[in-house]
Copies of this chain bind each other. A is one copy, B any other.
Amino acid sequence: MATTGPEDFPARVTVREVGPRDGFQNEPESIPTSDKVRLIDALARTGLTRVEVGSFVRADVIPQLADGAEVLAGIAIPDGVDVAVLVPNQRGWEAALPHKDRFDEVIVFLSASETHNVKNINRPVADSLATVESLLGQVRDAGIRPLASIATSFGCPYEGHVDPKRVYELAGRMAAAGAEEISFGDTTGMANPRQVRTFYEEALERLPGVELTAHFHNTRGSALANALAALEAGVTSFESSFGELGGCPVPPGSTGNIATEDLISMLHEMGVDTGVDLAKLLDASRDVQRVLGRPLGSHVLTAGPVEWADE
């Protein structure tokens, strides 16, 4: 096992903003397309280099994201910012394909837990894996960067512990099918830092050449501690959501994804660069807070950034 100390933290990491997809899809009130476009355009001008902007899911399944094509047509993304869309199945990919000049990355997904996969997408994991493998190849062949996401990688609310070996096997299959990046999701905030560090240290050994991404939820308040543990394990790619939007609304009242501004703030204070202008990011979070009309869970949005009076 590696024994990483503070002297070994990377100089820079990459953060993918997932709020416009993972965050918005949990919002009960319809968000106008024009608001989505303005918010995404703002996020893409904060210095973030990766933004997940929407999904090609069936409109009757997630009405909030039914305007995926309109959002893609409306946004104006600067050079150097990669746009990702989520695609759940073959039908979704076929809906996305006509718009492929407007995105750079496609995310496909499944759950490591059989029960969670069935409850979430009504199919056994083996079926989902076959679809995902097929999609990854098609995405690659279309010249788009293929990404994969594995939900409940650190625990399942229905099944309990998830064997890391099962997660690595799924990830290996996805990598073999073309995934250039794999994100491991702590879907209901069950992970702890000891587990996270061990998980990623072994994952980085087992999956050379694949970018491994950390996606934590703040359900029990430990998302940043888990991010620290991932960083110590050697992870340099993270996903987060501005304002702490989204995430799995189980248990009820729970907070969601790690807040992008809280993650960025901690990383910058540690001397780990992200390229993000925190003040601009907070402007976008204040805007989405106004759009949604309720106080959001992000700590830095409430308290403001750390200000060093002597700097």
Which residues does A use to contact B, with CB under 8 Å?
1-7, 9, 155-161, 189-190, 192-195, 197-198, 218-225, 227-229, 251, 253-255, 259, 262, 265-266, 269-271, 298-300, 302-311
* Closest-CB distance, A23 to chain B (whole angstroms): 17
Q: Which of B155, B221, B307, B311 makes the CB contact (< 8 A) with A300?
A: B221
* Closest-CB distance, A252 to chain B (whole angstroms): 9
* Closest-CB distance, A250 to chain B (whole angstroms): 9
Copies of this protein in the assembly total: 2
Q: Which of B157, B228, B308, B311 makes the CB contact (< 8 A) with A228?
A: B228
Given A5-B197, A192-B266, A194-B270, 11 more contacts at CB 8 Å?
Answer: A6-B197, A189-B303, A220-B265, A220-B305, A221-B266, A222-B262, A222-B266, A225-B228, A251-B303, A255-B299, A255-B302
Q: A259: which B residues are within 8 A, CB to CB?
A: 221
Judging by beta carbons under 8 Å apart, are B155 and A308 in contact? yes
Q: A194: which B residues are within 8 A, CB to CB?
A: 6, 9, 269-271
Q: A311: which B residues are within 8 A, CB to CB?
A: 160-161
Q: A271: which B residues are within 8 A, CB to CB?
A: 194
Judging by beta carbons under 8 Å apart, are B6 and A5 in contact? no
Q: A225: which B residues are within 8 A, CB to CB?
A: 224-225, 227-228, 266
